[in-house]
Amino acid sequence: MQGYARYAVYYAPAPDSPLARFGNAWLGRDPESGLILPRPELSGLTLQHLKSYTKSPSRYGFHGTLKPPFALHPDYKIEDLDRAITELAAGMLASNPTRLIVKRIGRFLALCPEQDDGSITDIAATCVQSLDQFRKPAGEEELQKRRARGLTDRQEAYLQEWGYPYVMDEFRFHLTLTDSLEVDALDLIEARLQSVTESLRARPFTVDRICLFGDPGGGAPFRVLRGYSL
């Protein structure tokens, strides 16, 4: 777990689960093993199209953000962070069951909870708050990058306090499936996703696991370093 530029706490489904098998194949990579996976064959979509539509989520790996990527504070070692996440997970309950839906968020597509009774948001808020001592404060360049799209006063306050604007009541859990797309591509991909995820969306979904991800830096793919059951 040593030597990563940044770390993050994400939800990632168990490796042998139907959700993980779908999400990893859709993005072409297993973030736990690092293996490149064959993409699904979809009518009207070439392999090159699918790769071009999923560049960013493929690098990050199939996941739902809980505590966004951060550089490790110099006062701590990665073993300290690992120990803290282990203790945190042991004291947290899994979220209440819901189902997933395919949803447009701006111009990208994601799998999102059909309903969030607050239990997923609570897990994320606990991760953000309880692990924040391990986060090296963001530099001005990073803060300005976060501000580039425009922030509300509340989001700006969260950015300054937690290093990220979309936390607490601004948080919306999602499993990202595409980059930002043009409308025609959105329509096509959404239709295909509705079809290929039908059986997944019929299953109950819970956040029952959190994972420590590592970012090697330089645009290299994120890796799952360890999973922790709730």
Q: Which of 127-131, 147-151, 191-195, 216-220 has the lowest mean pLDDT?
A: 147-151
Q: Is residue 96 part of a domain?
A: yes
Is 177 within 8 Å of 109 (Cβ atoms)? yes
Q: How many domains does the chain have?
A: 1
Q: Is residue 142 part of a domain?
A: no
Q: Is residue 131 part of a domain?
A: no
Report the amino acid identity of residue 189.
I
Instruction: Express each pLDDT in 31-88 by its tens digit.
Output: 999 999 999 988 888 999 999 999 999 999 999 999 999 999 999 999 999 999 999 9
Q: Is residue 154 part of a domain?
A: no
pLDDT of 116 above 90: no
Q: Is residue 82 part of a domain?
A: yes
Q: Is residue 137 part of a domain?
A: no
Domain hosting residue 102, numbered range? 6-116+173-229
Distance CA 27, CA 25 (A): 5
**What CATH code is carried by the domain that includes residue 64?**
3.90.1140
pTM score of the predicted model: 0.95
Distance CA 44, CA 36 (A): 23
- Residue 61 has, within 13 A of its CA and on its CB side, a CA count of 30
- Residue 201 has, within 13 A of its CA and on its CB side, a CA count of 17
Q: Is residue 161 part of a domain?
A: no
Distance CA 52, CA 30 (A): 18
Cβ atoms within 10 Å of 162's Cβ, excluding its own: 20
